[in-house]
Amino acid sequence: MAVPSVRLASSGWQAVRQDEKHTRGYYLGELLAKYRDMQVVNWNGEPTPLVDADNNILVGLGGFPPDRNGSNWQRDVAKPAAEAMRAAAIDIYTLPRWMRKRYGRSSNRRGGHAAKSVGPSMGGGQPHPQNLSHTPRLLAIFSALFALKCFERIAGWGNTLFEAFSPDLFNYYRTKLTEVCENDPRIRLNFPLKFSVFSTATFNFGPATITLPHIDFRNLAWGWCSITALGDYDPDFGGHLVLWDLKLVIRFPPGSTIFIPSAILRHSNTNIRDHEYRFSFTQFTPAAIFRWAYKRQSKFTTAAEHERRRRDKERRWNEGVKMFQKWDGPIRTL
């Protein structure tokens, strides 16, 4: 599996936005019939790394933890989280701007469902990281979701997976988010750092969350995004994660988590049945936060310092991908 060619922005921190030709979702059979070079990965939800040609872990299929001591992930975490998002969606969809559009022309570049991000972020002209602004009604919805034990456990399991799959990248995220919090005590994290090193989260409220092919170009170019699928759908029929550049169609069971470099891999989902419902909860950190931390540490006041900054841009990607963990276990050929 090879890393796709990457078009980076001039800063070297994020990718270049790509216009997508797809304006609707595909059913699994329809997708495989049209794109015959796609390969289905019948993933069972067990933690599995997908490596590139250099044995770097490029994608982390995280799954869910084994049931122990009477605990059951589906019963105690996945189903309560899906039910909470379903209840929240009822409130969300009473807002005119989030009226449901399913499978038709999308209301945003990711899909026709309601999606809202929350937490510290940066971009659009802010001088430093700040919490995203929301109405009191939306803030109440998000606060209620974050207060639930099931979402805390999803975030904590994601932290465990992230550190296991890519410890150097995990520590980089943790260090920079710590700097954000130390710089501004007004910053409110979605979760304590011990549960999540990601700054920002997005709730995709469905009720049939099917994203169209896209990249999250504003995320860190070599960074990871955590995606947790929730809902009541048949993962053999739909809801697959499609990684277009790798030509992979990955079975994505409800309650499981997958990590991908979402800024450089085009990704989407296959359609589910009409009577099913599907949500997703994603976590990420915008590239602008890492850029802010870099500029904060370096004062470019002399010609030599400006020259160093130029060299840093040129080598940023190569240094960044060195954070990917090398896999020395058995290799599954895809």
What confidence tens digit (pLDDT) does each residue in 18-53 have? Answer: 766 666 789 999 999 999 999 999 999 999 999 988
The encoded tokens of residue 134 equal 């929301």
Three-state secondary-structure class, residue 60: strand
Q: CA–CA separation, 20 vs 299, rounded Å?
A: 38
pLDDT for the residue 5 = 65
Three-state secondary-structure class, residue 231: strand
pLDDT for the residue 106 = 45
The encoded tokens of residue 316 equal 């940023």
Q: CA–CA separation, 285 vs 170, rounded Å?
A: 12
- Strand 257-260, strand 267-269: pairing: unpaired
Q: CA–CA separation, 153 vs 156, rounded Å?
A: 5
Cis amide bond preceding 207, omega within 30? yes
CATH number, domain of 93, equals 3.60.130.30
pLDDT for the residue 87 = 94
Give residue for tokens 């270049």: 16
Residue 18, domain member (yes or no) = no
Residue 177, domain member (yes or no) = yes
Q: CA–CA separation, 266 vs 100, rounded Å?
A: 24
pLDDT for the residue 115 = 83
Q: What angle do CA 72, 77, 138 make, to 5 degrees?
A: 175
Total number of domains constituting the chain: 1
pLDDT for the residue 334 = 40
For residue 99, the Cα-to-chain-centroid distance in whole angstroms is 24
Residue 333, domain member (yes or no) = no
pLDDT for the residue 232 = 96
Residue 240, domain member (yes or no) = yes
End-to-end CA distance of the chain: 8
Q: CA–CA separation, 226 vs 62, rounded Å?
A: 9
pLDDT for the residue 179 = 92
Residue 103, domain member (yes or no) = yes
Low-confidence stretches of the chain (pLDDT beneath 70): 1-6, 19-23, 95-112, 297-311, 314, 330-334
* CB 86 within 8 Å of CB 79: no
Entry pTM: 0.90
Residue 321, domain member (yes or no) = no
Domain range for 122: 28-293
> Which run of H or of E encompasses 156?
helix 149-165
Residue 42, domain member (yes or no) = yes
DSSP at 258? E
Write phi, then psi, for 61 (nearest 5 degrees): -85, 100
Residue 129, domain member (yes or no) = yes
